Amino acid sequence: MNWQPSAEMHALRARARMNQQIRQFFAARDVLEVETPVLASAPVSDPNIEPMCTSEQRWLQTSPEYAMKRLLCAGSGDIFQIARVFRRGEAGRRHNPEFSMLEWYRVGFDHRRLMDEVAELVTQLLSARYPQLPRLNLSYGDAMSRYAGLEVHSASDEQIAVLGQQLAGQDLQLSRDGWLDVIMSHQVEPSLPADTLVFIDDFPASQAALARVSNNTEGVAVAQRFELYFNGAELANGYHELTDAEEQRRRFVQEAGGRPIDEYLLAALEHGLPDCAGVAMGLDRLLMLVQDSGNIADVLSFDWSRA
């Protein structure tokens, strides 16, 4: 039995420095650090994320989002958290079922203003290894057109499925959004420019999750959310947060698939969520970039196989 840490000591020291930098970044902006429970009475509603349930029928958080929004509804103002989160079945070179997430919310921000702050923080955290970091902003439609040759907002379900099947090498019997995820992961992400902060926003409205929906300049309904990619890896996912409790309940019911719905969050939203934007960022992947590592185990004190 190998009881030794999976990460070397220099990686653990690098993590401590990164956490210190993050806290200094938010302290300078008067953003409050908070802690929320790891165990919750209801899981995330996102059907693409598989939560873990304990024997007491409590759910290990896949993100601190729901609890942090309850704090926002209670008047916390700007908040951030460095949290331990858990997702079933996510293990591999870039994934561990237990990992570290930075999540923060800025009152009065929309997703585009938050993108600027994300870029500022990531640039600071990666500055030792990447002194110059160019930035590229693309809409989801532009990214699909440029790198996959797909006009996504006008393409039929069949056209999207055919391209997805070609890339996957098989028919996986997926929905339109499922095939779009295949196209994004197999074609678009690997084609993005290297050593560049690439922000993709204006996702299809069907992929809004907890984000607002609005019409783009072409009159197409899109989600007010973004993702940040760097060297083929997704680093962050942000929203201009949905504040409509009735619409959030409708989405929860549609997506839950038999899972319990978080009534605490819905009650808080009915009380009132301030206009805000929030983002979740994977810290282990950032640390992999800092350490020039290709395996998440290299930056974890003990990875899943040794925990």
- Single-letter code of the amino acid located at 66: Y
| pLDDT 10s digits, 262-283 | 999 999 999 999 999 999 999 9
pLDDT value at 172 more than 80: yes
User: Using one digit for the tens of pLDDT, what is the confidence trace for 179-203?
Assistant: 999 999 999 999 999 999 999 999 9
pLDDT value of residue 46: 78
Looking at residue 82, its pLDDT comes to 98
pLDDT of 54 over the 90 cut: no
- Residue 246: predicted pLDDT: 97
Contacts of residue 60, Cβ cutoff 8 Å, sequence gap at least 6: 38, 39, 51, 52, 53, 54, 85, 86
Residue with tokens 């237990």: 98
Percent share of the chain, pLDDT over 90: 86
CA gap 68, 51 in Å, rounded: 18
Tokens 């030792």 correspond to 128
Looking at residue 173, its pLDDT comes to 92
What pLDDT was estimated at residue 168? 95
pLDDT, average across residues 247-269? 92
pLDDT at 50 exceeding the cut of 90:
no
Task: Give the pairing type, strands 233-240 and 221-230.
Answer: antiparallel
Confidence at 57, pLDDT banded by 50, 70, 90? confident
Tell me: pLDDT of 45 over 90.
no
Quick one: pLDDT at residue 237? 97
Q: Which of 87, 98, 84, 101 is nearest to 52 (CA)?
A: 87
Task: Give the chain's mean pLDDT.
Answer: 95
pLDDT tens for residues 107-147? 999 999 999 999 999 999 999 999 999 999 999 999 999 99
Torsion, Cα of 50, 259, 242, 175 (10° steps): 60
Pairwise CA distance, residues 305 & 45, whole Å: 28
Is the model's pLDDT at 91 over the cut of 80? no
- What letters, b where the CB count within 10 A reaches 16 and e where it falls short, cover 228-256? bbbbeebbbbbbbbbbebeebbebbeeeb
Which tens digits make up the pLDDT trace of 211-245?
A: 999 999 889 999 999 999 999 889 999 999 999 99
pTM comes to 0.95
